[in-house]
Structures are given as C-alpha cells and as structure tokens.
Chain A
Amino acid sequence: MEQLIAALFQLFEINHLIFLFAGTLLGLVVGILPGMGGTSGLALVLPFVFSMEPSYALAMMIGVLAPTTTSDTFPAVLMGVPGTAGSQATVMDGFPLSKKGMAARALSAAFSASLLGGIVGAFMLSISIYYAIPIIMAFGFGEQFLLVVLALLMVGALTGDNLFKGVTSCFLGLIIGSIGTAPITGDPRYTFNSLYLIEGVPLVVVGLGLFAIPEIVGLLDSRGAIAKSLKNEKGWITGAKDVLKNWFLVLRCSTLGCLVGALPGLGGTVVDWLAYSHLKQTTKDTSQFGKGDIRGVIAPESANNAKEGGALIPTLIFGIPGSGNKVLLLGGFVLIGIEPGLDMVTTNLDLTYLMIWSLALANILGAGICLAFASQISKFTLVPYYILAPVMVCLIFFATFNINRDWFDFIALLAFGLIGITFKNFGWSRPALLIGFFLSTKVELLSYQTHAVYGLSFLTRPVSIILIVLCLATIFLLSKQRFDSNYKSDQKKGKMTQIYYVGFLLCLPLTMIFFTSNLDYRANLFPISLSIIAILLLIFIFIIKVTDLKNYAFLNYTFMNFARSNIFENGSFNNQLYYFLSFLGFLAMNFIFGFPIAAALFINFFILFHNRQAYQVSICISLVLMMILWSLSSLLTLQFPNGAIGLVIDLPWWLGGELN
C-alpha cells in the first residue's frame, strides 16, 4: 500500500509527467492515423527508451499504449474508418451518428466511456497484482507451457474467420522465431553463418515491418475518405450525460474488456465486437443499432480501453503478451533491463505501481485532451497522407536502425514489410505471425524444461487441469464459430496469385528442414516438427485452393466446404506494391547517399511527386527532420549508415561520416 502511494508521488515528479505526456501525445497521434496503432507507436519509441531511466521509459511506453484506443474514435466517427483494430465496432453506430449531425455527442460519449473503461482496467490490474505472488508461485514450467499453448490457441480466435490461414501464420511465426542460436544446445540455426541472425530476427524489425509498413502503403492506396468537419458541432455535454446514464453498461463492458484482455494472446481485435454483441443481447429495443444508437459507441469504447489494463496482467506476471502490442512492450522491458515475473510484484513492485498509475493517468490525459481539443485534433484526419507517409517511413527506418545499428535491418524491415502487405491482402494473420514469432523460444524452452522437471506428471497438477479445460473450451468455441465467413466464390481474380503465394510460403519450412537436419536432435526437433506441421497446413490450403478454382464436386462434403469457406482472400493490392517499390527506391538512395541525405531527398521527391505545389511543405519538413536527426545522432552517439558517397567525400559525422 505504501508503495502504491509512493509510486503515485513518483509519477507526479515533473520528469515522469513530461515523459508520460510525450508518450500520451504520440499515442493520440498514432491512434488518430487510421491503421496505425499501439504496435507501431511503441515500435517508434522503443529505440529511445533504452537510454532512459527505467521508470521514465515505462511512463512513456504506457503513455503511448493507453490513449491509442481513445483517439482512434476520431476516424471511426468522422470517417467511418477504424483508427485501430480496436474500434471496428465503434464505427457501427458512431459513423451513423456523425451522419445524423451528432458527431460531437458520439465523440464525447466515446471519450468519456474510454476514460472510465481505462480506469476500471487500471483498477483491476492493481487488484490482480496484489494477488499475483501465489499465482506466480503456482505456475511452474508445466503451467507456463500450457498458458503459452492457450495463448497460441487464442491467436486462432484472433485470426477472425480465416481459421486455417491464421493457424498457419502462427506456425510460420513460430518457425521464424526459431531462427538464431538454439537455446538448448547453442547451435546456430538457419543463420547462414552470419552475425546478423545469431540472436534471431530483431523483434522491432518484425513488428514495424508487419504492421507499420502495410498500413502506410494501404492508406496511400486508399487516398482517404473525406473526414467530416467538427465546426459548429454541439452535443458535447449530451454525450457525457449519455455515459453517466449508462454507467452500468460501462461497468459491465469494461469488466468484460478487462477479463478478455487478460486472456493471453487474444487482445484487442475482438474485445470491441464482444462488447457490442453483449450490448445487443442485453438490450430489449435493438431497432436503432447500426443506425446511430449512442450505446453502440459506449459499449465498445469502454471495453477496448479497459482491455489495456487486463492485457498487462499476463504480460507483467508471466511475460506472456496479452495482445499484439504487448509483444513490443515486453521488448521494451528487455531493453531497460526489467524481467517480467516475480520481480514485478516483489523487488520491482514500485515500477509496477508506477505503470498502473501511468495507465490511469494516461487515460485521463488522453480523454481530456481529446475532449478539450476535439476540433483541432480532428484536423489530423485531414492531413494528406502523401505528406505523412514519407515522414513515417523515414522515422521507421530510423527506429529500426537505432535498435541494432545494422544495414541488414533495412533489408529485413522491407522484407517483413512485403510479407506484411501480402499477408494483409491475402487474408493471412499478422498478429498470429507476430505472437507466434515472439512465443517461439518460450514454447521450445518450456516444453524442454517441463519434460526435464516433470515428465508428463505436470498434466495432473490442479492449475494445469484448469488450463487444459480452458484450452479445450477454446478449441470447441473456435470450431463452433467458423461456419459463416466472408468467403465469396466469385473472387476468381487473384486466386492463381494466391496459389503461387502458398508455394512461396512453403519455401520457409522446407529450407528450415534442409538447413537444420544435420544438427543435434535437441536443436532441430523443434523447428523441424513445426516445419512439418506448417508444410502439411500449407499443402492443405494449396489443395483446397486448387480444387476451389476448378470447382470439383467433392467440395460439397461438409468438411471440405467448411475448409473452403474458411480460406479466402481479402482483396487486391491495387497500387500498394507500387508504393512499396518507392520504399525500395529509398533503400537504394540510402546505399548511395547514406541515411540522412537519403531521408531528405526521399521526403522531397515523394511529396513533390504527388503535389508539385507543395515544395515549401516538403522542404520545411525535410529540414526539420534533418535537425532532429542531427541532434539525435549526438544525443545517442549514433553514427548513421554511410552511403557510397561517403567513400568519396568526407561527410560530417552526423551525416554518416567517420567518428572524430
């Protein structure tokens, strides 16, 4: 209790507040930008946190995570586009409300609901921390192993309708995660004798590549819906009153959000829908839903903010991410030298409390800022994307480079970017890939450790039995849900490409088997068995796709029909690959000019190509960026990648030249 209060006072020290505030602002911004969410936002700050005090870094990271699900309401209500995956359900009633001229009421209700939800989440988190020690002590290797298995099964739920592709994505993630030094024997696996892969593929590279790049490309492609202006809107007070009137709904939905969030791996993409369907089931008059019922905004918004607190529970006490963005948060913990687990509730309890207070305060700050500056903030949705995109690409490149300081990071980033783009458009699951990637080492080690300590006897321990029941229940629910899906048999176009793509994905497990087959069995058992499962799944998808294309008769059997309707694609690339090519151009410029000059050139070229008149904007932005890079290079003692030009001309050090 004392520490709880002490942590509050610590948070109110000016430095903590500054970092928390900076994080909150960034979180608000990434929340507003449609498609960008906590994962991308956190990936952007990670490179900076490790030069900070751990407590500042935590305040900042929580600051980024907490408000993204508050500010994502702006695009949801004003444009009908969810700002993050967590606000898809908000669009259902929020956008109709806005069309009816009640945007202010919808926004105000959403922010108030978010605020309350966030605080409930923080409260539940602090309660569970109080009881955490016995829980942690009850979770041995066996229980942890089952918890990880549960997380992976939950990822199956997270993949939405595309069950088979989701599960396969998860296995591919597990395989990618097994690249690097084998944890049990120390043998290098799939590293091709390079130093770069010895510690595996960097997490930030995977996170930014899979999430940030596809979203940027996708938004460039969509060219944006027209956002509604908030001028002269009224109803701010009505919205807040709506929330107070529905306080019980807020409480129920935030509890729901928190509990679902606490399930490992499940995360935010479903919480809003669960809250929405809970609302529908418990309301008598459902006629207004989908046409602009204010409760349709309140329910998902309170749930999706409360889940942040819930998702922190498994993240902090077991190091098992509660959602996709917690993977990055755990990456941040490693950087500042904090290990999740018992320490978080004993020796590092002060930091845990600090995080809880940060979560509560960031929610208040975020909602407060959104309410107070709604009309100004909503203008963010009006900034043309061709201006934001190149700046974000440069920031992402910078963030990536700063983690490892390696040229290969750029190449790996773009490779994962391409995987992300194709995954997104072909209906494969990126969160499943990320969580599989992250949990890979844990699965491997825990299965070995469990075996060494318990043999099979761990299965009869009481907590294990509860977890096994949970796992079976998840499988049961998964198999129940699948029958209605987005499958359309008329999407002939692109099906051939899809089939080729499956063939391309097959390369990874096949080469993995090839390169690891001569290692010790304790080093290759894990990747090879994963690869075999992945190959079987991929071949299955391949067969279904081919038969689907040819429309063979046996597709009418129930199971085959079930399988067919659960493997489908989301749409086409349009110009996305073409935008991606321009990023490759940026990479090439990096090799020639070094990073700082290439960044300035890229921003100018990109903006001018889309709008000849905008040269003042582009020059301004690139100058500001250069200044920022310059100051960061001295602040972080960072030598930027030097291009070919550096071999000819002696560049100053902040442009990538030699030290001293």
Chain B
Amino acid sequence: MRKFFILLLVSLFSLASPVHAEVDFSNKTITWVVPFKEGGGTSRFARFIQPFLTKYLPGNPDIQIMHIPGGGAIKGSNYFQKNAKSDGTFIFGCSTSVIVNVATGNPLVEYNLSEYKPVLLLPQNTHWFTRSDLANGPHDLSKLQERDLMLYALKTPASADLFHIWVFDKLGLKGAKPIPGLSSSGGYQAFLRGEIHISSHGAANYVKKVKPEIEKGKVVDLMTLGIIGADGVVSRNPLAPDAPTFPEMYEKMNGKKLQGDDLEAFYSIGAAWSQASKSMLLPENTPDEIVKAYTDAAEKMINDPEFKEKAAKALGPFPLIVGEEAGAIVKKAAIFSDTTKEQLNAVLNKNRFTYRVQ
C-alpha cells in the first residue's frame, strides 16, 4: 500500500512538472540489502563502494548496509523484493549465486531479478589450471583428454559450479568427473595433494596461491573464461595473457568456432558467472531519473582517481560495468533460454545428477 502510494506520488509529480525534478537524497538514509553474511565477497564489495556512493549521490545520503543471510541467499533477496521502496532509498547487493537461483528456477525464489535496474557490475574471471605432469606444457588439454578419469571439484550442482560441468563437457573431456562438496580452496588443496586433476580459482586467489606454484613449475595454466565485451567479443584475461579463453579452447578441441546454441549458452553462463559476479541494483519500477542519478554517481565514482587506485587492489583488475550495458547483462544472466537450460540439464543427466534446472 505504502509502496503504491509513493509510486502514485512520484508519478503524479513527474506528470505535473514537465521538467524532471532534481533527485536529491539529502538527509536521507539509503539501505543497501546484502543477502549474505558480513565478511563475504558481496559484503566487502558493498562496503568498498559505500563511501564513494555517498560522495557522488546528490545530497550525500548516509548508506547503511543491512545483512540478511540465510536460505542460500534467497531469504535476503525475498526480503528485498517485499520491503524495498522504489524511491532510491533501497539498493540490492547481488552476486552470482543470487542470479543462479533465478536462472535455474529455484522454486523458493520470490524476487523478480530480471526487472531490477542494475547500476553497477563488478566482473570476475575463472582460471583453470592443472599439474604440469598432466599436460604437455601450458594450455594443453590433450593429455587430460586421453584420461579415463579426470577429477575436478564441484561445490554442489545447485550452484554456479554447475557451469564447470558444462565447460568440461563442451571441451570433450570424457573422463571428467566432479567430486562434490569441495569449496574452491578445499578443491585446490586436494589438487595440490594430487587427488584431483584440474582445478580453478578466481582472480584474487589465482594471483595469491596459483601464480607461485606456476613459477615453481608445478602447475600450468590451461585457460580462462575470458572477458566478454559489450559487443560480445571475448578477449583474454590480463592476469594470464598467454592463456586461451574458453571460446579459443573450444575451437581448438572441437575444430569449429563456438557458435549457435553453445555460444548462446556461453553468453548466459558468462553473464551470470563472470560479468555480473557482484552487482548493485535498484528495485523494479524505480523511476528513470533516480536510476540516472545512480548511474551518474557510479560513472563519476569509477573516474575518481582515489577510487581507481584503491579499486585495483580491493576489487581486482577487471573494469566495472555501468549503465545500459549492465542492464542487458543481468537480463541475460537471470533468464536462461530453453535451449541453454536443456544443455545444462543434459550435462547434469550425463553426470548422473538428479538436480535439474527448471
């Protein structure tokens, strides 16, 4: 009722005044809902952005971060859907797992993510690597391809790790078999002990933990997911510029370009997994001028020299995505096409999982 009333007021106001009223948040408190525990990646992302956002939003509002963890991030997200006002005083801190819940059709989801208004995306990238005795030099999958059994870590099939299954299937690694219940760091330990054959890490841990092992010659790079540009062109990851991207590796292994349904699935997976790794969104029905106030603030923020300097260290090397491009990515990430879903279900079935994408 209250939401409706505000909406009515806002729309009346915008009808009445031909010139858009200035958006002003002075003396307001903005609530940033994070559906995770304090200390997690999404929480750190929000905390990092918070002071800059206060600086650049009109009226310099206070921003408080409200953590509502639980239920696999669904609880806090549903809370946001029900309680957020669309007047710019509520922001949503989103991550891959929040998106995956929507994309895979979790029946407990009540939030309408694809209608939210994205302001800012922070991309991530995945690195795959293997032990040097399991490959003929870097970026070589041929030795692993011959193996009857190639083990890798998988948290659960009902998480973003599901995409690993798809990736290995599309590369034609027939012996690939997931070992469930391993977090990325638990999986990396098992990898170092020689129990699993292929392992992966995000950028930060890749630099901190994997790079030293590569320098020692124990580990070799295989590939990265690649950085998907606004035009759909996939470029190499600056942290491992020699490593091929997934589309390059796909071409090498299959002898044909990544295209058709596979390419579509790759774009959706890449959007959810990589491009929208962490994001900041406004509720659905947020008026355009408020969205614009936010995107303007975000633009100013990412050009702030202090931000640039700190962000490289705190958020990683990948440039943030602001504005319209962000909107398209979140839509792509949250709504998987039927063919993509079929592809995912097919690889789940192949690996004898009962979990299905809905």
Q: How far is the CB of B95 from chain A (nearest CB, A)?
A: 14
- A428 CA / B40 CA spacing, docked (Å): 37
**B352 nearest CB neighbor, chain A only:** A522
A453-B31 in contact given A50-B39, A199-B72 (Cβ < 8 Å): no
- A519 CA / B355 CA spacing, docked (Å): 11
A50-B37 in contact given A196-B70, A199-B70 (Cβ < 8 Å): yes
**A522 nearest CB neighbor, chain B only:** B354
Contact across chains for A181 and B189 when beta carbons are under 8 A apart = no
In the complex, A659 has a CB within 8 A of chain B: yes
Contact across chains for A195 and B355 when beta carbons are under 8 A apart = no
Contact across chains for A181 and B39 when beta carbons are under 8 A apart = no
Contact across chains for B40 and A337 when beta carbons are under 8 A apart = yes
In the complex, A339 has a CB within 8 A of chain B: yes
Q: How far is the CB of A494 from chain B (nearest CB, A)?
A: 39
Which of A340-348, A538-546, A567-575, A604-612 lies on the face that meets chain B?
A340-348
Closest 4 CB pairs of A and B: A186-B158, A195-B71, A445-B181, A520-B354
Contact across chains for B156 and A186 when beta carbons are under 8 A apart = yes
Partner among A140, A141, A196 whose Cβ is within 8 Å of the Cβ of B71: A196
Name B's A-contacting residues (CB within 8 A).
28-29, 31, 37-40, 64-72, 74-75, 78, 83, 89, 108, 151, 156-159, 177, 179-183, 185-186, 189-190, 192-193, 195-196, 208-209, 353-355
A/B interface sample: 29 pairs, CB < 8 A: A137-B193, A140-B190, A141-B195, A183-B180, A185-B157, A195-B74, A195-B75, A195-B108, A198-B74, A339-B183, A342-B189, A343-B185, A347-B208, A347-B209, A405-B67, A406-B70, A406-B75, A445-B180, A445-B181, A445-B182, A449-B179, A453-B151, A453-B179, A519-B354, A637-B31, A637-B64, A637-B66, A639-B66, A659-B66
- A453 CA / B150 CA spacing, docked (Å): 10
Task: For A196, list chain B residues within 8 Å (CB).
Answer: 70-71
Task: For B354, list chain A residues within 8 Å (CB).
Answer: 185, 187, 519-520, 522-523
> Which residues 424-472 of A have a CB within 8 angstroms of B?
441, 444-445, 448-449, 452-453
A181-B156 in contact given A199-B70, A406-B70 (Cβ < 8 Å): yes
Q: How far is the CB of B59 from chain A (nearest CB, A)?
A: 14
**A452 nearest CB neighbor, chain B only:** B179
Task: For B89, list chain A residues within 8 Å (CB).
Answer: 660
Q: How far is the CB of A406 from chain B (nearest CB, A)?
A: 6
Contact across chains for A659 and B31 when beta carbons are under 8 A apart = yes
Partner among A54, A337, A453, A637 whose Cβ is within 8 Å of the Cβ of B65: A637
Task: For A522, list chain B residues within 8 Å (CB).
Answer: 354
Contact across chains for A184 and B180 when beta carbons are under 8 A apart = yes
In the complex, A491 has a CB within 8 A of chain B: no
Contact across chains for A449 and B38 when beta carbons are under 8 A apart = no
In the complex, A335 has a CB within 8 A of chain B: yes
**A319 nearest CB neighbor, chain B only:** B186
**B356 nearest CB neighbor, chain A only:** A186
- A405 CA / B64 CA spacing, docked (Å): 16
**A139 nearest CB neighbor, chain B only:** B193
Q: How far is the CB of A145 from chain B (nearest CB, A)?
A: 12
A187-B71 in contact given A137-B192, A637-B66, A639-B66 (Cβ < 8 Å): no
Task: For B71, list chain A residues within 8 Å (CB).
Answer: 195-196, 198-199
Contact across chains for B185 and A339 when beta carbons are under 8 A apart = yes
- A42 CA / B343 CA spacing, docked (Å): 47
Contact across chains for A448 and B74 when beta carbons are under 8 A apart = no
Q: How far is the CB of A635 from chain B (nearest CB, A)?
A: 10
Partner among B31, B83, B186, B355 whose Cβ is within 8 Å of the Cβ of A186: B355
- A523 CA / B157 CA spacing, docked (Å): 12
Contact across chains for B70 and A404 when beta carbons are under 8 A apart = yes
- A146 CA / B74 CA spacing, docked (Å): 35
- A50 CA / B43 CA spacing, docked (Å): 11
Contact across chains for A341 and B189 when beta carbons are under 8 A apart = yes
Contact across chains for A140 and B193 when beta carbons are under 8 A apart = yes
- A198 CA / B159 CA spacing, docked (Å): 14
| Residue among B31, B39, B68, B195 with most chain A CB within 10 A | B39
Q: How far is the CB of A452 from chain B (nearest CB, A)?
A: 5
Contact across chains for A449 and B182 when beta carbons are under 8 A apart = yes
In the complex, A136 has a CB within 8 A of chain B: yes
Q: A181-B158, A186-B159, A523-B354 are in contact. List 5 more A-B contacts (CB 8 A).
A: A51-B38, A337-B40, A342-B185, A637-B31, A660-B29
Q: How far is the CB of A411 from chain B (nearest CB, A)?
A: 15
In the complex, A336 has a CB within 8 A of chain B: yes
- A445 CA / B178 CA spacing, docked (Å): 13
Q: How far is the CB of A476 from chain B (nearest CB, A)?
A: 31
Contact across chains for A335 and B353 when beta carbons are under 8 A apart = no
**B41 nearest CB neighbor, chain A only:** A337
Task: For B208, list chain A residues within 8 Å (CB).
Answer: 347
- A264 CA / B83 CA spacing, docked (Å): 46
| Residue among A136, A181, A184 with most chain B CB within 10 A | A184
- A217 CA / B83 CA spacing, docked (Å): 39
Task: For B209, list chain A residues within 8 Å (CB).
Answer: 346-347
Contact across chains for A404 and B158 when beta carbons are under 8 A apart = no
Contact across chains for A184 and B156 when beta carbons are under 8 A apart = yes
Contact across chains for A449 and B181 when beta carbons are under 8 A apart = yes
**B28 nearest CB neighbor, chain A only:** A660
Partner among A186, A337, A343, A520 whose Cβ is within 8 Å of the Cβ of B39: A337
Contact across chains for B179 and A336 when beta carbons are under 8 A apart = no
Partner among A51, A343, A404, A448 whose Cβ is within 8 Å of the Cβ of B181: A448
- A468 CA / B326 CA spacing, docked (Å): 55
- A520 CA / B158 CA spacing, docked (Å): 14
0/1 per residue, A174-187, Cβ < 8 Å to B?
A: 00000001011111
Task: For B31, list chain A residues within 8 Å (CB).
Answer: 637, 659-660
0/1 per residue, A318-362, Cβ < 8 Å to B?
A: 000000000000000001110101110011000000000000000
- A487 CA / B150 CA spacing, docked (Å): 56
Task: For A405, list chain B residues within 8 Å (CB).
Answer: 67-70
- A341 CA / B191 CA spacing, docked (Å): 13
Partner among B37, B75, B151, B355 whose Cβ is within 8 Å of the Cβ of A335: B37
> Which residues 111-146 of A have a CB within 8 angstroms of B?
136-137, 139-141
Task: For B28, list chain A residues within 8 Å (CB).
Answer: 660
| Residue among B29, B31, B69, B208 with most chain A CB within 10 A | B69
Task: For A139, list chain B residues within 8 Å (CB).
Answer: 193
A452-B177 in contact given A195-B71, A195-B108, A406-B70 (Cβ < 8 Å): yes
Partner among B40, B65, B181 whose Cβ is within 8 Å of the Cβ of A184: B181
Task: For B108, list chain A residues within 8 Å (CB).
Answer: 193, 195, 198
Q: How far is the CB of B199 from chain A (nearest CB, A)?
A: 13
**A53 nearest CB neighbor, chain B only:** B39
Q: How far is the CB of B351 from chain A (nearest CB, A)?
A: 11
- A195 CA / B77 CA spacing, docked (Å): 12
**B85 nearest CB neighbor, chain A only:** A660
- A193 CA / B74 CA spacing, docked (Å): 13
Task: For B151, list chain A residues within 8 Å (CB).
Answer: 452-453
Q: How far is the CB of A653 from chain B (nearest CB, A)?
A: 10
Contact across chains for A448 and B180 when beta carbons are under 8 A apart = yes
Q: How far is the CB of B247 from chain A (nearest CB, A)?
A: 28
Task: For B179, list chain A residues within 8 Å (CB).
Answer: 449, 452-453
Q: How far is the CB of B295 from chain A (nearest CB, A)?
A: 23
Contact across chains for A637 and B181 when beta carbons are under 8 A apart = no
- A637 CA / B50 CA spacing, docked (Å): 14
Task: For B67, list chain A residues within 8 Å (CB).
Answer: 405, 637
Q: How far is the CB of A595 from chain B (nearest CB, A)?
A: 16
**B66 nearest CB neighbor, chain A only:** A637
Contact across chains for B353 and A185 when beta carbons are under 8 A apart = yes
**A136 nearest CB neighbor, chain B only:** B189
Q: How far is the CB of B267 from chain A (nearest CB, A)?
A: 24
A453-B156 in contact given A183-B181, A448-B180, A637-B67 (Cβ < 8 Å): no
**B29 nearest CB neighbor, chain A only:** A660
Task: For B83, list chain A residues within 8 Å (CB).
Answer: 659
Q: How far is the CB of A339 from chain B (nearest CB, A)?
A: 5
Task: For A449, list chain B residues within 8 Å (CB).
Answer: 179-182, 190
Task: For A185, list chain B residues within 8 Å (CB).
Answer: 156-157, 180, 353-355
- A198 CA / B71 CA spacing, docked (Å): 5
Contact across chains for B70 and A141 when beta carbons are under 8 A apart = no
